[in-house]
Amino acid sequence: MENILSVRGLTVDIPLAAGTLHAVRGIDFDVKRGETLCVVGESGSGKSLTSLAIMGLLPKQAQRSAQVLDFEGVDLQTASNRDMRKLRGNRISMIFQEPMTSLNPAYTIGDQLTEALLLHRKVPKPVARDRAIELLEKVGITAAANRMKQYPHQLSGGLRQRVMIAMALMGEPDLIIADEPTTALDVTIQAQILRLLKDLQRELNMAMILITHDLGVVARIADKVAIMYAGEMVEAGSAAEVFTAPKHPYTRGLLNCIPVPGKTAVGEHLGSIPGIVPSLIGDVAGCAFRSRCDEATAQCATDIPARISPAGHLYRCVHDYDMNQPKSGEA
């Protein structure tokens, strides 16, 4: 199956008074139709900026560059603003992180839902309205016709998130980017939203990029996983490979922070990653994780090229690590 989105060498630099912030550094990945790529990392790792770079929605001062930024034959780097407006909300849609700030408080839910379809498909208003009601019902909102008349502040957080999903699906996109769509929701609503996204993806055969910091979410929904740290992709591969045989110390640190059913005893201390993410302003060299890594050596201060296993498992680390081998200090 061909890639619907191919990204090579994506960088985002932001000029600041103190120097240039290298927010995203040399990102590579592919997404196929019907596939889910989960991008994981702590706050400030560059996940959201990567998605905004793909959508062409970066702040004016941000500088984007890439060797390849291709969406089904369309070069997103050279596409004009007019071309990008034709893609956004039509063939590529995005579910933003906070629906209360993404929805316009001055317009009804119905007006905001139908806008994309009226703009891109030039359909009559009654057709757009029927489509909006159909999608509201599909995402689990009852009394959908009445909800069309309401304003964002009249809906709960879970309902607003469902409206955002319906809005992203109005144009039946080929690719949907979901930026932490369940962060502000309680656990039960979170599970419903994830199930809904997966069901809709299967039904419409969409590609999906899901941005999250929650590895529990990743385990339930991902086909492929990309781990980001300090603006760089430090590990990427199939979900099964990354979870069962993580190659990068940062990935292992993240996994050690999660309780494992049947293995983690009640009251047992979970792992933690000491230290803080280093500044990415000015010159950045070597492994950015080395100041927090127990396995760091002098070689970690040099440039770390990406290494790829025969199975396509990418990682940036000078050490070889095998989950089947005992760790240092173990028998």
When pLDDT is averaged across residues 57-72 and rounded to a whole number, the result is: 94
> Strand, helix or coil at 171?
coil
Is the pLDDT score of 80 beyond 60? yes
d(CA 318, CA 297): 9
> What pTM, to 2 d.p., does this model score?
0.88
Residue boundaries of the structural domains of the chain: 3-91+173-315
Domain 3-91+173-315 has CATH 3.40.50.300: yes
What pLDDT is stored for residue 328 in this prediction? 38
- Token pair 């809904």 in the structure block, residue: 196
Helix (H) or strand (E) segment spanning residue 178: strand 175-179
* pLDDT over 80 (residue 18): yes
Torsion sign (Cα): 27, 31, 37, 43: positive
Check residue 324 and give its pLDDT. Answer: 43
3-state secondary structure of 291: helix
Query: How confident is the model over 287-299, as pLDDT tens digits?
Result: 999 989 988 899 9
Alpha-helix runs per DSSP H in 179-327: 187-204, 215-221, 239-244, 249-256
User: Using 50, 70 and 90 to split pLDDT, how confident is the model at 321?
Assistant: low
| pLDDT at residue 162, as a whole number | 86
What does residue 38 show for φ and ψ, rounded to 5 degrees?
A: -100, 125
Which residue from 109, 101, 86 is spatially nearest to 167, judged by alpha carbons? 109
pLDDT score, position 315 = 92
pLDDT at 75 over 70: yes
> Does 193 score more than 90 pLDDT?
no
Tokens of 279: 């500044």
